[in-house]
Structure 1
Amino acid sequence: MVNWKSALPEDVRAKIDSFSDDADGLSKLANSFIETKAMVGGRIPIPDPADITGMEEIFNKLGRPQTFDGYDIKNEVGEGEYDLLTPMLETFHAAGVNNIHMQNLIDKFQEVQAGFVKEIDTNNAASREKNNGELKTLWGDGHDEKRAAAVKAAESLFGEEYAGRLDGSTDINAFIGFDKLAAEMSEHGLHGGDRLSFKLTPGEAKTKMNDIRGNLDHPFHKGDQDAVAEMASLTEAATEDNQVLFEV
């Protein structure tokens, strides 16, 4: 048999020096090749990272979509959040992130986001409870009525949506401010808007009565019919458990 190794280039012969020159050596070399091929299988050779074109081909073979908008996540995150994520998707695509990696990233993103939302809801609930406690301490038995009046005043001035936000807010100062505004609206009227109804607590009615009695220039002291009727309503509100309804 012809020495098969002698027909090979010198640099190749040096790499297979452990195989003998006879048929047995050739057989072992062939088996070694078969085993190596089976072990390597369909593995993809990695090009030099500087080879941009070669790396792009590798990324695509590993499951990266052809373009960044090929990531199938829009239905999961919603169109609004998808638009916010677009710059990140472009970066991920350039870095070679495939669909499996992207799904894992989105799952984690939604998990973290849900945690943030839960934490915010918990904190808001705690703040509302704390502030409601402070308002109840401040307003006493008139809490429910004064709170409702504050929300009604906000709705009259700024609309239903704003009033809804106030009603669900934790801003104690806003409630105090709108409560004072509601009292002003009840006393002086609201120009250029719808008529509103506000309830006075017995304590508020007594305070208002004392203010009228102490103000000698008030129309009540001159026998004005409307002022006398107002004082009668205040007296009723101050002496009974029922609260009187004032319209402005």
Structure 2
Amino acid sequence: MTRRRLAAGNWKMNGTGANLSELDALAKAHPTPGCDILICPPATLISRASAATPAQISIGGQDCHQNETGAHTGDISAQMLVDAGASYVILGHSERREDYEESDTDVRNKVMAALSAGLKTIVCVGESLSEREANNTLDIIGGQMAGSIPDVVTGDSLVVAYEPIWAIGTGKVPTLDQIGEVHDFIRSRLERRFGAGVGRSTRILYGGSVKPTNAADIFAVSNVDGALVGGASLSVADFSPIIAALENA
């Protein structure tokens, strides 16, 4: 089964209106991309990014609340993201799990809200360095998948992103064999739980210090369907070569 590859950029808490010029430059660099391209800017930029960005680049949110409305100061609902022009949302990122103590149940509830609003969801999973060193990686990944992903997903509405916590923004990268082991495991778990249709059509991204210098090697690994990129997605100079590597994988 052929899966359209995805290069997703997570700007995190970076960027103002001045940075939107990077999106225009990115679109010009990839006028007919050979993979899907997604940028998830801060919530303050979603509406402007959606209005100004050519169709070959999708815009997404970095999080959403599990409720449609309510007394949740500072939060954003899935419906608000859609209204602003988003088509994707990142959920369960390790920074949300750690900084805001989000549980698997919290993530699952957010995924349900996002699906109800019509958003495609990128569900993040990943182990800490201590868990990796204790050889608990696959148990952690399996538990996060079981708890965070609801039964109602489809291959079109779900993307799974494997982001080893110890590799995010550190410059450290797992070996290619380690990446392959986890991605193969995620694929097998998806197929076992959801069947071959959903299991084989769901895209699995790798995230964690992906750079132009290592992207091609990572994209050659079994069941790596793209990348969730942090800092390198903030500039065309860094992100465009990663996209090119994915297009050529």
**Under TM normalisation by the shorter chain, which class is it?**
under 0.3
Q: Greater CA radius of gyration, 1 or 2?
A: 1
TM-score (norm. length: structure 2): 0.23
Higher strand share: 2
Higher helix share: 1
Structure with bigger RCO (C-alpha 8 Å, 6+ apart): 2
TM-score (norm. length: structure 1): 0.23
